[in-house]
Amino acid sequence: MTALALTADNDPPQIADFDFQFGRWTVAHRRLRARGAGCDDWDAFDSTSHCRPQLGGVANVEEQVCVARGWMGMALRTLDLATGEWSIYWINDAYGRLQPPVRGRFQDGVGRFEGPDADAGRPIVARYEWSRCDTPHPRWTQSFSYDGGATWEANWIMDFTRA
């Protein structure tokens, strides 16, 4: 097997999908206090974020530090060069293990990534959605489906502003 070095001439277009997020950010969070329970009470808090490309852009790492709530976490995103699909893994300091990935791609300026997971022992489909990526304030939204994808509940919204 021969390794092919990526150059600007042969980079897949998806390699630039997360370029908007590289750098340092302040992040305004809104998170539902109770998920899957019809709750409309949101907890608001701030964090900082730093995202950087790795491996010539086929991966990137985003580190979140939330002093207000006492946690740290990291997203690892990897691009499958054969399919053009991103996988996003999450790890935090509370559990120290990679969570099941969500997978997907950007289309028409919106990135949608889904995958099976569990919420407090309940099987769910998790969705991460990146929107407003071409603005100074990109938005990440996490939604869960408790019915196999028929309906969705947005439970965490993060609005990013350059630090």
Query: Which spans in the chain are helix H?
Result: none
CB 73 within 8 A of CB 23: no
- Note the pLDDT tens digit of each residue in 108-119: 999 999 999 999
Share of the chain above pLDDT 90, in %: 92
Helix (H, G, I), strand (E, B) or coil at 99: coil
Please tell me the predicted confidence (pLDDT) of residue 71: 96
Please tell me the predicted confidence (pLDDT) of residue 27: 98
Q: List the pLDDT tens digit at each of the 163 positions of the chain.
A: 334 454 556 788 999 999 999 999 999 999 999 999 999 999 999 999 999 999 999 999 999 999 999 999 999 999 999 999 999 999 999 999 999 999 999 999 999 999 999 999 999 999 999 999 999 999 999 999 999 999 999 999 999 999 9
Please tell me the predicted confidence (pLDDT) of residue 11: 80
| Nearest of 115, 76, 121, 72 to residue 95 by alpha carbon | 72
Domains and CATH numbers, the chain: 18-162 (2.40.128.20)
Please tell me the predicted confidence (pLDDT) of residue 3: 44
